Structure 1
Amino acid sequence: MRFVEFTSHFSYLKNCHDGFTKGGCGTRWSARGNCSIIRAVPARDNSSDSHPPADNIANDELRVEDCSPSENSAAATLESLQMNPDLCKYCRKMCDNWPNPQDPEPHIVEEHHGSEKELQESAKKGCSICSLYLKVPFGRDRLFSINGRSWARKLDSTMTSAGASIESRAPGRALLTRHGYRRDGPYILVLYTPEPSLEGETSHVQGPYYHIRERILFPYRKPELEAILSADATRTTFDGLSTSNLWYKLCETTHQKCRSSVYSTFRPTRLVDLTATKPVLRTSPNFESDCKYATLSHCWGFTQYAVLTGDVLLNYHDEIPEAAISTTFKDAMTVAKYFGYRYIWIDSLCIIQDSEDDWRQESALMSKLYSNSGLNISAAGAKDGSVGCFFAREDNWLEIVSTISRGTRARYIVLDDNFESKLLDNMPLMRRGWALQERILAPRTIHFAKNQLFWECNEFHACESLPDGYQHEGSITRLGDDTPASEDLSVWQAIVLSYSFGELTDSKDKLVAISGLAQAVQSDLLGSYVAGLWRNGIESQLPWYMYGGHKHRPDDYRAPTWSWASVDGPISVSNRKPEQVFIRVHDVVIENATEGNIYGQIVSGSLSLTCKILLFGEVINFEHEISENMSGILITLRMDGGEFHAVFWPDSIQDEIPKDGVAAYVYVVPMILDKCYGLQGIFITPTGLVPGQYRRIGYFRSIDLPSDSDSDFNSDSALDHDLKGFREIILAEKLNVSDDAYARIITDEDGKLQRIIDIV
């Protein structure tokens, strides 16, 4: 019998955005849903600073502690968990063998319930740990196979590579180990229960599904903050302002990275003055010398409010009308004044909305405007202006449990390990494209989410449940001054990935809404900015792809097809350094909508590409999609007298190749060869306007299927043979297109012919 065994690495369970296991080579597909982890943060009793004893913990007792009156509501929230000593035999054994926290890598692994039904029955009988498991959603793992060949490593080998293993179709397994490297750090409690493959998916699924439930127990080291965590005292998120004031004072007085940009000489064009009886609009010459200001990030939504226009500009200098001040604006003004700010910047009140010139001028200042904000107020939970910043909390917004062992008590605040993602990143504001740069550029931000307040600054992340801070894990939220210049491109690609998930009310803002971040990231190492990409090393940035479903290309032009900004929806681009590059960008020509503003809207763009290889192929066969959330399609491509397989990701619905049996013809541009992801490139089609001019229609990848050997191509399978042949054509630089397929052919300084195509 094989047991689960983990080291302290668990990052492989999370953040796999594009279906590939991060950090590993080969073609390792994962269609796993998000794992759910609960963090339980010990808020220890003043009478004891010790960890639970390493042996015989609590004599198996996990229960709601005898709380003080202020903690009664928190205890009541866990009534349904049936906290009592009646642990099931599996949980009892686990508690009897609680690891010693002094061990370098303490961990135990025990057999556990093998099905959801068994877990539910155990919880009904009173097992408190099984009840805790059931309280959160579960993640799922499954494996795909195509044509009898696995497109993922088996679950046991995948997990072994990360320091763990689990036997296929085994009983459930529970493990308890340390989460992270700190000896005094938290524990993680993990449960795996198998589930049979779903009916109708047997041809695509190899092995069972696995339900994954995880909880993390965090040491909590600041008893003086326990009053803040009283659920009775914080019935609405407005009550969290006192906690956020502690964060603000800590940041303002001790965080050098957060103070450096706030004292710039930059002044916004307009600000809302909050000192008068009613808010009024001030212009730059009329600001006081110490012009500290707050900013607001919010969703416009579909509720209409009055906005600043050219004909009412002078009126706003006397008084901003009530019709222009939404509930969200009122709450934001309250927060700004609470923190001592006289001024606040709000887009609809500080930008002339019916002036294209003013909008372009102000949008070009976004980087400076948010970077110099003293405090960014994020109305994260509000879908529109009618909602506001403050929310009534549910009674169980804060959960507290405790363990008791030989008279020693430790209290734990229970949180999902993905709590930041679920409680903050899933809020309405975070789906707004503009919000990303506002969040990243501001030195400090308070997020008013529905459940609680979150704090982000350049040196610290915290929330009301974890007021003394937590380690941020997830998408990029800060630009660090200490980031090496060599990582600038990786930082930008991470930003683009996050940004691609956002939504924009006006499609033409695609490049504008990220322009502030582009200005902040720009460096000599990156070179000039061209339609969302950087000129230096642009060859490795061109093979981006769409995943998670396709949309129509926007009707209004906003970027050339070779730019990710030309499409809507999540995109991905590898930040790995390619082993071989088969293209060279000869020239890039961009016409900007505003002269001198290379970061804003563009009118047109053309990329001249020198190709080592340009192939012409006929797509003759389609297989099913590789993954329900990847949108990659296994295709058969006939070219140069042979048939080859590749995976194709179309850029949009218009670019999808028909699947009705009619052959489709494409030009194939191999771009890079990567050790992990194989050969990558794009499919293009002629525009029909100018000879040698093309538009991009999608991305392709030739994928080496996993084998039992380290060699990429040592299998006798027909599919492996075809992929090997595809690559051999590329590496041999065999051409099967005539010279008239190119825009021009030039002779370089070494006397070699350079064949160039234009992509628009």
Structure 2
Amino acid sequence: MHGSLSPNSSEGCFIKDRWSDKCFSVSNAAKEVYQIGARVLDRKGRLEGIEDINNRYPLLTRGWVFQEYYLSPRLLQCNYGEFTFKCFETSCCECNSRFAPHPARPFKWLGGGDLTGGIGNLQQFTDLPFGWVNVIRTYMSLRLTKSFDVLPAIAGYAQVLVPSVKSEYVAGLWKDKLHTELLWHVDTPNKYLKPRPQDTTAPTWSWASVAMEQRITYSKIHKLKYNHYDYPLTKAIKDVYWEAESPSNPFGKLKYAYLKLHSKLYQWYLRLSCPGASSRGYTFRWDLHINRGGKLISCPMDVKPLPVNGVDFDLRLDGKMNIRKETEEHGFVNCHEAASECRCKYLQIYLLHARRVDGSDKTADLLLILKKVAPVGVGGEPNCYERFGMLKVENEDASLPSWDNMVDGVIKSHEEEFWLF
């Protein structure tokens, strides 16, 4: 049982502004008297959407409530003016409405997810990764006070799924399907992204490392009837290591987690700003350093532009960057550090080919964006990286060259054994 109108765990389940019930009598022509009672459920008017529900039932926006809500076989909620009851088969309340809380029309709440049937219907979640993404999409849209609680607050849900999924659970992902599980991204425009929390215990390759209240999904290849697809990540992943903070709870906080990979990495640059990128002068822009209509031909960096004719680049960053501290926090440097007048900043990145799809009308490639970091564990090995985002490259013509052929002679590549934290 919980009070869905409580803003936090200390408020309890009883409302403080309780209104008296209204009772009156009516009689008909036969002088039969009937007693009628009316109860004020909510003085703020009827609910019109998810935002209204979240404002009046704040408990349903909290991350810790997620697994309690969906794992409980029976749920009794204390709402404004009445109790509601929910189980795997039905939902009812004192006023006999089918929906509680009571919107003007039925809405999905608790993150806007569609997890009807709760844990009692496991089949919809065992199709990895897309069954699981429905769970994390709902969960990650909620709120947590502490970022390091992201994994613990969903640990119970994951633990119950293990027998049906038949795979080991690693930092919010499933080990047997890592080549597809790693292809998540934050489905939010880059300018609205939240910074990656500093106190998370999840590795950067896990969705649990980014800020809550954001939509997590997998990259879709739009309008593509594919003839063939390949996951280079399958061969690249050599091993996965992780250790929980508490040996008794392998689903909770992590002491460490990293992947060992061996693959080709493409060296490229992520541009923060460039005077030649806009006619208005100095602007902050996120973009791969590619030739877009000749706007970057004045950039002094000695790199060739990627061909863009018929190619669509979709850049998805994992978190919002701190513009004022981008140099010290993310390694952005000037094109020519000796030239004080140069304002263009760039970050060297590495692209890891993750998925290739060949269609009848176009092709697509997914690449993980990595950033090299100082040696972290693993005996001080130098080849250590963190995930920075994801890049989707779509060729609008299936006859255009593949990713490898397109960047041959343009982007430098090398093959190495490395660790992803």
Q: Same fold (TM over 0.5)?
A: yes
1:591 aligned residue: 243
Deviation of 1:695 (Å): 0.7
SS at 1:516's partner residue?
helix
Q: 1:610 to 1:536 in 2, by over 3 A?
A: same
- AA aligned opposite 1:568: A
The separation in 1 between residues aligned to 2:72 and 2:63, in whole angstroms, is 16
How many angstroms apart in 2 are the aligned matches of 1:684 and 1:655? Answer: 18
- Assess if the C-alpha contact under 8 Å between 1:433 and 1:499 holds in 2: yes
Offset from partner CA, 1:319-341 (integer Å, 9 cap, x none): xxxxxxxxxxxxxxxxxxxxxxx
- Which residue does 2:389 correspond to in 1? 698
For 2:12 and 2:122, how far apart are their aligned partners in 1? 38
**Structure 1 residues 697-722: Cα deviation after superposition (integer angstroms, max 9, x where no partner):** 11222256xxxxxxx338xxxxxxxx
Counterpart secondary structure, 2:68:
helix
Alpha carbons 1:655, 1:698 under 8 Å: kept: no
Cα distance, 1:601 vs structure 2: 1.2
Query: SS state of the match for residue 583, structure 1?
Result: helix
1:446 maps to 2:76: yes
1:686 deviates by 0.9
Structure 2 counterpart of 1:501, which letter?
A: S
Change (3 A) 1:439 1:537: same
One-letter code aligned to 2:389: G
Structure-2 change in CA distance of 1:496 and 1:677 (3 Å) = farther
What is the identity, as a one-letter code, of the residue corresponding to 1:615? Y
Q: Residue type of the partner of 2:140? A: S
Aligned to 2:134: 494
Query: Is the 2:270–2:286 contact (alpha carbons within 8 Å) kept by the matching residues of 1?
Result: no
Match for residue 281 of structure 2?
A: none
Q: Which of 195, 205, 228 does residue 562 from structure 1 map onto?
A: 205
2:231 to 551, 572, 581: 581
Contact 1:633 1:647 in 2 (8 A): no
SS of residue matched to 1:522: helix
SS of equivalent to 2:153: helix
Preserved contact between residue 546 and residue 651 of structure 1 (Cα < 8 Å): yes
Equivalent residue number for residue 306 of structure 2: 642
Task: Give the secondary-structure state (helix, strand or coil) at the position aligned to 2:120.
Answer: coil
Change (3 A) 1:496 1:703: same
Q: Does 1:602 align with 2:293?
A: no
Structure label with greater radius of gyration? 1
Q: Give, in angstroms, the shift of residue 459 of structure 1.
A: 1.2
Identify the residue that residue 7 of structure 2 maps to in structure 1. 383
Number of residue pairs aligned between Structure 1 and Structure 2: 326
Aligned residue runs from structure 1 range 109-124, under 5 A: none
| CA-to-aligned-CA distance 1:9-58 (integer Å, 9 cap, x gap) | xxxxxxxxxxxxxxxxxxxxxxxxxxxxxxxxxxxxxxxxxxxxxxxxxx
Preserved contact between residue 617 and residue 668 of structure 1 (Cα < 8 Å): yes
Find the counterpart in structure 2 of residue 515 from structure 1: 155
Q: Percent identity?
A: 20
Superposed CA deviations along residues 362-417 of structure 1, whole A, max 9, x for unmatched, are xxxxxxxxxxxxxxx1211111334643365899xxxxxxxxxxxxxxxxxxx979
TM-score (norm 2): 0.65
1:468 to partner: Cα distance: 4.6
Cα gap change, 1:737 to 1:693, in 2 (>3 Å): farther
What's 1:686 paired with? 372
TM value normalised by structure 1: 0.38
* 1:161-188 deviation per Cα after TM superposition (whole angstroms, max 9, x unaligned): xxxxxxxxxxxxxxxxxxxxxxxxxxxx
> What is the aligned partner in structure 2 of residue 530 from structure 1?
170
Structure 1: runs of 5 or more not aligned: 1-376, 396-414, 625-631, 705-711, 715-723, 744-756
Q: CA deviation at 1:528?
A: 0.5
Distance 1:426 1:731 in 2: 55
Cα displacement (A) at 1:642 = 2.8
Matches within 5 A, 1:712-751: 712-713=396-397, 728-730=402-404, 734=408, 736-737=411-412, 739=414, 742-743=416-417
Q: Would the aligned equivalents of 1:670 and 1:682 in 2 still touch at CA under 8 Å?
A: yes
Note the 1:207-356 alignment, pairs <5 A: none
The change in CA–CA distance for 1:450 and 1:731 in structure 2 (over 3 A counts) is farther
> What does the per-residue CA deviation read over 1:236-293, in whole Å, with 9 as the maximum and x for residues that have no partner?
xxxxxxxxxxxxxxxxxxxxxxxxxxxxxxxxxxxxxxxxxxxxxxxxxxxxxxxxxx
CA distance in 1, matches of 2:138, 2:363: 21
Deviation for aligned residue 1:671: 1.2
SS at match of 1:390: coil
SS at match of 1:558: coil
- The residue that corresponds to 2:419 in the other structure is 758
Partner Cα separation in structure 2 for residue 380 and residue 677 of structure 1:
48
Aligned to 2:31: none
The 5 Å alignment of 1:474-493 reads 474-475=112-113, 476=115, 478-481=118-121, 483=123, 486-487=126-127, 489-493=129-133
Q: Which runs of 5+ in 2 are unaligned?
A: 21-44, 101-105, 278-284, 292-302, 327-331, 335-342, 376-380
Amino acid at match of 1:538: L
Structure 2 distance, partners of 1:654, 1:533, is 25
Aligned to 1:651: 318
Kindly indicate whether residue 353 of structure 2 is the aligned counterpart of residue 670 of structure 1. Answer: yes
Q: Note the alpha carbon deviations across 1:540-581, whole angstroms, 9 max, x for none.
A: 111222244333333335011111111213142228799331
Separation (CA, whole Å) in 1 of partners of 2:363 and 2:84: 38
Displacement, 1:635?
A: 4.0
Q: Equivalents in 2 of 1:523, 1:596: separation in Å?
A: 18
- The amino acid of 2:306's aligned partner reads G
